[in-house]
Amino acid sequence: MQTIEKWKRYELTLPGPTGGNPFRDVQLTAIFDHNNHPITVDGFYDGNGIYKVRYMPEVEGDYTVTTYSNVSELDGITDEFNVTSAQENNHGPVRVSGKTHFAYADGTGYIPFGTTAYAWTVQPKEVQEQTLETLKENKFNKIRMLVFPKSYDYNTNEPAIYPFEGAPKVKRGGTDWIFDASDTGFDFTRPVPEYFQNLENNIERLDKLGVEADLILFSPYDRWGFARMGMENNLQYLKYIIARLASYKNAWWALANEYDLMDLVGQIPLKDWDRIGQFVHEKDPSQHLESIHNFYDPPQHKDTIKNWYDHTKPWITHLSVQSDNVFLVPKWIEEYQKPVVDDECRYEGNIEFGWGDNTAHGMMDNFWRVILRGGGCSHGETYIDKPNTDRPIWWAHGGKLYGESQKKINFLYDLLKDNGFTWVKPQATSGPTWELAAGSTPDEKKWLVYFGDNQPEFELFSFLPDGKKYSAKLINAWDETIEDFDGEITNNEKFHLPRRPYQAMLLTEE
Amino acid sequence: MQTIEKWKRYELTLPGPTGGNPFRDVQLTAIFDHNNHPITVDGFYDGNGIYKVRYMPEVEGDYTVTTYSNVSELDGITDEFNVTSAQENNHGPVRVSGKTHFAYADGTGYIPFGTTAYAWTVQPKEVQEQTLETLKENKFNKIRMLVFPKSYDYNTNEPAIYPFEGAPKVKRGGTDWIFDASDTGFDFTRPVPEYFQNLENNIERLDKLGVEADLILFSPYDRWGFARMGMENNLQYLKYIIARLASYKNAWWALANEYDLMDLVGQIPLKDWDRIGQFVHEKDPSQHLESIHNFYDPPQHKDTIKNWYDHTKPWITHLSVQSDNVFLVPKWIEEYQKPVVDDECRYEGNIEFGWGDNTAHGMMDNFWRVILRGGGCSHGETYIDKPNTDRPIWWAHGGKLYGESQKKINFLYDLLKDNGFTWVKPQATSGPTWELAAGSTPDEKKWLVYFGDNQPEFELFSFLPDGKKYSAKLINAWDETIEDFDGEITNNEKFHLPRRPYQAMLLTEE
């Protein structure tokens, strides 16, 4: 009997009909049964007369598989396999843990240290390889990426292949997102298997690097019509994506990038997202994380969430936020009782947009502030070497990083890991030191307090518990240094700090 | 006939009774009549058997004065005077102009460049002199200051004299603000004239320096009971203050510092402020600016105004805000259709509080952002040389400045003045460059765009009007430099900027 490692992929490959439209005409499901717990999983057509059914088993032991189809040669096929224990470095999928944070399925801590390369899988092969190389060199454990190609400023090249059969009927510019839905040269009922094979191979390679694929299913940045397929095609596409990818343990479902912009430019109306979100939740046999990301003119993010999707909906597992008001993370965690990931808080770069001209210091600062306040955070980089450059820009194309914040983010990642922060408990979010960012290990034995660009020279940590004493290390987040701090820290004695930017203090209870 | 310069002070001095309680027992008003426009003004007791009636005439020509009193020797006294035109440097009081900004009564532009020294008038004489000297050396044109002494950390010394007769019955610490209202050693029905004489002399000296006195009438930072006098005493005190000070053209009425904290600590309940605000508005014959300032735990300022007083009330002339979310200023201006002054946006300093450990860069940055977005802004400085220092701290005591932001603020002040920004029209508050701060002269011939700590190297000012061309100067806000920028700026061509923090660009239409 075949053996499958827990949280890895079982795949059943079956020959079947090629006539008609196999993507739509052929129904194929399978029931996976373990210990009388049956789960129904959709199969999919992978081209060239090949049908597949995939599943990620989550429990050790024996499974049986039985297929059901409206095509006799695919119907009633059975198989069985045995699920063995997870090997080292296989921690399973990331799940919500303790309501407001994350952990891998095996209980290992997971704090989202994300990055962003929206369309990296549709770039030339060498750029895709370079992207994986860059990820390998850094500590990012999540990447925001689109299923579809991206159309935007600096995103005007056509992809080598498209996700659906056909070709553009009209040549449009990078930001020509508004057009008649019928004016497209694609057949949305016929996915191109090679396109999705490349996508899933890349997701698999991300998994090997320990990177979660925060997969964006719809996006407004579209000149081809993939954002205007209509509800029926949208759901069929989702069914296909889930059938292909739900067995990849590192896949997350990000329903949309900037779902509200999709409404504003006449793509997917606001009312459709309940149906879409619920559909993904129902279809996915592996219950991956599911989120939906907001747009709205950024200054508005600074004081209102009125344009957010209703994140209390049960199919939304966590908040994927666009906001540079990083002070609000603990409040959102508290109010929604779900994990919060600030997935766009202004990228390090030098371009002409407010979201893409942050300094390395600013990007680093946002990471420290969001992470210590209990959230996850995502990096992005938008450096160009000249106007209308052809050089890949990490945020969209992947490739190389030219900035500095990633090093500082790596430093923070290691610092948390080395000190037992399996998740960060936000601390001192109000009161006299609200301008700092403070978090502790779950057991409050270690605290990390970030001073940012503030300059308290005579500081008092009045938020610490009464009667406790802490030894301290003084950290410089930018210089990536850690040194012993002379003197004990308590909640009732001031201590002297040098006047330098981007300091932090690591406290250990004595 | 006596002549009085327009917007200066007419004062009638009358001998009267000293028995009983002259502050409460003696009623004294006067009617000032000019051209059949009578105005009723309250007189006040100035101690030693002296009663006074003061008035700031606002129209040139002849006035008559007639007193009314329940004491015969003060009743029916008449006088007359002639009001002459204003001399150079006398621009009159600051008024709201064009709904959303300010101007002096003679039409001269006024943009609030404030500072803060809450209790400077109750410090030792040499500190008061030093404060005036510091103001003379800088460009601040408004100062937030209390009528009463201040009790807080670093504010534990007793003043030399008190505003009311008596002495503290109980010795309390700096933050012992909560106590029984009856447990005070003061007679709130008997102001101490010398206390108020010192206050008004200082207001007069501020006027000579061109500084508006943003006079805070009530404050929660009180250990003596001046915040717990009860409504009847509060109104009598306000009547006294207005009678004394409404003739000072540079007086502004700030009803409270942190009115909502006064409720939280059981001083003046929220419901009383309508009555207080309306009373000041009715009693003041000269219609000075009137505001009320919020507290609430600062992180909350970042996304809500739910704890603000209702600034739409007609007696509130402008918003005096505590918030470091400086992006919201244009929104508040738009929504309230009143001028907005960000009077607390984190002071430059090195103390242990979130509101008092901003860098000089940060304080400067907030000024640029608030002012260019059409608001007024206030500086404050909280440097200490050691814990529990006796050295005056500008924010509370006045004295000297030890920081650097004031120089940068002076630079911005001159830049606006030299380039015809009588007020700043906020520009580009949303859209792709929302992270910058941009404002223009009212006629849009000159624009000032601030890049802050962002680093766009290939920038596009798409917000500029179509078809216009601008010559430019490149400014460094921190270095205080202005140099010619090579190249014309339009709304459709990118230009190259060096990657340096705190740059700005001054555009002049060609």
Domain with residue B339: its CATH number is 3.20.20.80
- The verdict on A102 and A70 lying in the same domain is no
A127 shares its domain with A251:
yes
Q: What is the mean pLDDT of chain B?
A: 96
- Residue A334 touches partner B, C-beta closer than 8 Å: no
Question: What pLDDT does residue B297 have?
Answer: 59
Q: Are residues A237 and A344 in the same domain?
A: yes
pLDDT at residue B304 is higher than 80: no
**Chain A contact present for B430, CB below 8 A:** yes
Closest CA to A361 of B403, B359, B407, B458: B359
Residue B334 has pLDDT above 80, yes or no: yes
Do A200 and A333 lie in one domain? The reply is yes
CA-to-CA distance for A25 and A47, rounded, in angstroms? Answer: 14
CATH of the domain at A44: 2.60.40.10
* Average of per-residue pLDDT across B474-485: 98
Beta strands A212-218 and A142-146 are parallel
Q: What is the pLDDT of residue B305?
A: 79
Which pLDDT value is given to residue A299? 62
Q: Which two tokens stand for residue A474?
A: 């003084």
Confirm or reject contact between B459 and chain A (CB < 8 A): yes
Count of alpha carbons within 13 angstroms of residue B490, beta-carbon side: 7
Quote the CA–CA distance of B208 and B210 in Å, as a whole number: 5
Residue appearing with tokens 């798409």: B462
- pLDDT above 90 (res A305): no
Are B122 and B196 in the same domain? yes
Calculate the CA dihedral of residues B86, B91, B95, B100 and round it to 10 degrees.
140
Q: In 3-state terms, what secondary structure has residue A237? A: helix
Residue B324 has pLDDT above 90, yes or no: no
In a domain, B410, yes or no: yes
Residue A36, helix vs strand vs coil = coil
Strands (DSSP E) contained in B123-185 are 142-146, 164-166
The per-residue pLDDT for range A359-387, each reduced to its tens digit, is 999 999 999 999 999 999 999 999 999 99
Note whether residue A450 is domain-resident. Answer: yes
Q: How confident is the model at residue B301 (pLDDT cuts 50, 70, 90)?
A: low
Q: Is the pLDDT of residue B66 over 70?
A: yes
Chain B positions touching A297 (Cβ under 8 A) are 430-431, 434
Is A148 in the same domain as A232? Answer: yes
Q: Which tokens sit at B259?
A: 């009115």
Q: What is the number of H-type helices and E-type strands within chain B? A: 11, 30
Predicted pLDDT of residue B298:
61
* A324: closest chain B residue by CA: B435
Q: Chain B: residue nearest A431 by CA?
A: B297
Residues of A in contact with B297 (CB under 8 A): 430-431, 434
Edge-to-edge strand order for the sheet containing B10-15? B2-5, B78-84, B61-69, B28-34, B37-45, B50-55, B10-15
Across the interface, whether the CB atoms of A327 and B299 are under 8 A apart is answered yes
For residues A340 and A325, what is the distance between their CA atoms, to the nearest angstrom? Answer: 13
Q: Which of B28, B131, B3, B175 is nearest to B401 (CA)?
A: B131
Which H or E element spans position A142? strand A142-146
From A388, A419, A450, the end of a domain falls on: A419
The answer on pLDDT for A298 being more than 70 is no
**Quick check: B302 contacting A, CB < 8 Å?**
yes
Residue B301 lies in a domain: yes
* Residue A326 and residue A252 share a domain: yes
Enumerate the residues of chain A whose CB falls inside 8 A of the CB of residue B300.
430
Instruction: Say what the pLDDT of residue A307 is.
Output: 84
Q: How far is the C-alpha of A61 from the C-alpha of A6, rounded, in Å?
A: 9
Contact of B29 with B16, CB cutoff 8 Å: no
For residue B310 the two structure tokens come to: 């209702």
Q: Are residues B183 and B328 in the same domain?
A: yes
Optimal mutation site among A295, A296, A357, interface B, most CBs of chain B within 10 A: A357
Name the residue among B327, B494, B501 with its Cβ closest to that of A352: B494
Identify the residue among B304, B357, B388 best suited for mutation to test binding to A, counting A beta carbons within 10 A and taking the highest: B357
Alpha carbons within 13 angstroms on the beta-carbon side of residue B496 total 7
CA distance A22 to A165: 13
Return the structure tokens found at A208. Answer: 């090997």
Q: How confident is the model at residue A306 (pLDDT cuts 50, 70, 90)?
A: confident
Beta carbons within 8 Å of B486's beta carbon, 6+ residues apart: none
CA–CA separation, A89 vs A111, rounded Å?
Answer: 16
In degrees, rounded to 5, the angle at the alpha carbon of residue A179 between the alpha carbons of residues A174 and A185 is 85
Structure confidence at residue A291 as a pLDDT band (50, 70, 90): very high
- Name beta bridge partners: B495: B459
Specify if B79 maps to a domain: yes
At A300, the pLDDT band (50, 70, 90 cuts) reads low
Phi first, then psi: give them for residue B70, nearest 5 degrees: -85, 0
CA-to-CA distance for B322 and B325, rounded, in angstroms? 9
Nearest residue to A364 (alpha-carbon basis) of A278, A422, A426, A451: A451
Mean pLDDT estimate for chain A: 96
Q: What is the pLDDT of residues A382-424, one digit of tens each?
A: 999 999 899 999 999 999 999 999 999 999 999 999 999 999 9
Is A354 in Cβ contact with B433 (below 8 Å)?
A: yes
| CB < 8 Å & 24+ apart, contacts of A323-329 | A324/A298, A324/A366, A325/A301, A325/B302, A325/B303, A325/B325, A326/A366, A326/A369, A326/A370, A326/A373, A327/A369, A327/A373, A327/A434, A327/B299, A327/B302, A328/B299, A328/B302, A328/B303, A329/A369, A329/A370, A329/A373, A329/A374, A329/A375, A329/A426
> A488-493 long-range contacts, Cβ below 8 Å, gap at least 24?
A489/A461, A489/A464, A490/A461, A490/A464, A491/A460, A491/A461, A491/A462, A491/A463, A491/A464, A491/A465, A491/A466, A492/A460, A492/A462, A493/A460
Q: Which residues contact B125 (CB under 8 A, 6 or more apart)?
A: none
Of B302, B325, B362, the CB nearest to A453: B362
Residues B125 and B235 in one domain: yes
Strand ranges inside A22-127, DSSP E? 28-34, 37-45, 50-55, 61-69, 78-84, 94-97, 101-104, 109-110, 113-116
CA-based nearest distance A348→chain B, Å:
9
Q: Does A490 touch chain B (CB under 8 A)?
A: no
Give the per-residue pLDDT at B33: 97
Cα–Cα distance, A33 to A65 (Å, whole number)? 6
CATH number for the domain that contains residue A472: 2.60.40.3950
- Cβ of residue A306 closer than 8 Å to a chain B Cβ: no
What distance in Å separates residue B304's CA from the closest CA in chain A? 6
Which residues in B304-320 are b (16+ Cβ under 10 Å) and which e? ebebbbebeeebbbbbb
**Run of H or E including A238:** helix A231-245
- Same domain for A234 and A337, yes or no, is yes
CA distance B107 to chain A (A): 33
Q: Report how far apart, in Å, the C-alpha atoms of B122 and of each of A72, A427, B204, B205, B372 are.
A: 95, 38, 16, 15, 35
Q: Map residue B473 onto helix, strand or coil.
A: strand
**Integer angstrom CA distances of residue B481 from B202, B207, B408, B473, B477:** 35, 31, 10, 10, 7
> Is the CB of residue B235 less than 8 Å from the CB of residue B279?
yes
Q: Is residue B89 part of a domain?
A: no
**pLDDT per residue over B107-135, tens digit each?**
999 999 999 999 999 999 999 999 999 99
In this prediction, residue A297 has a pLDDT band, given cuts at 50, 70 and 90, of low
B362 touches chain A (CB under 8 A): yes
- The alpha carbon of residue A42 and the mean position of all alpha carbons in its chain are separated, in whole angstroms, by 24
Overall number of domains in chain B: 3
Beta bridge partner(s), residue B82: B3, B62
**A302 with A183, same domain?**
yes
Q: pLDDT-based confidence at B299, cuts 50/70/90?
A: low
pLDDT of residue A424: 98
Domain C-terminal end among A55, A84, A113? A84
- For residue A254, how many C-alpha atoms fall within 13 Å in the half-sphere facing its CB? 28
Nearest C-alpha neighbor of B26 from the set B58, B50, B10, B56: B50
Q: Which of these, B120, B173, B154, B127, lies nearest to B385 by C-alpha position? A: B154
Q: What is the 3-state secondary structure (H, E, C) of A204-231?
A: HHHHHCCCEEEEEEECCCCCCCCCCCCH
Q: Which of B419, B445, B469 is the last residue of a domain?
A: B419
Whole-number Å distance between alpha carbons of B82 and B79: 11
Which residue blocks in A138-211 are alpha helix, DSSP H? 193-208
pLDDT digit string (tens) for B145-192? 999 999 999 999 999 999 999 999 999 999 999 999 888 999 999 999
d(CA A446, CA A458): 22
How sure is the predictor about A304, in pLDDT bands with cuts at 50, 70 and 90? confident
Identify the domain containing residue A32 by its residue range: 2-84
Q: Is residue B32 part of a domain?
A: yes
Measured CA to CA, the distance from residue A62 to residue A1 in angstroms comes to 9
- In this structure, the answer to whether residues B363 and B484 fall within a common structural domain is no
Percent of chain B whose predicted confidence (pLDDT) is above 70: 99
Residues of A in contact with B387 (CB under 8 A): 458, 494
Give A53's pLDDT tier (boundaries 50, 70, 90): very high
Which residues, other chains included, contact B62 with Cβ-Cβ below 8 Å and sequence gap of 6+? B1, B34, B80, B81, B82, B83
What's the number of CA atoms in the CB half-sphere (13 Å) around residue A255? Answer: 32
Give the model confidence (pLDDT) of B377-404 as tens digits: 999 999 999 998 999 999 999 999 999 9
Cα-only R_g, chain A: 24
pLDDT in tens, A151-207: 999 999 999 999 999 999 999 999 999 999 888 999 999 999 999 999 999 999 999
In a domain, A89, yes or no: no
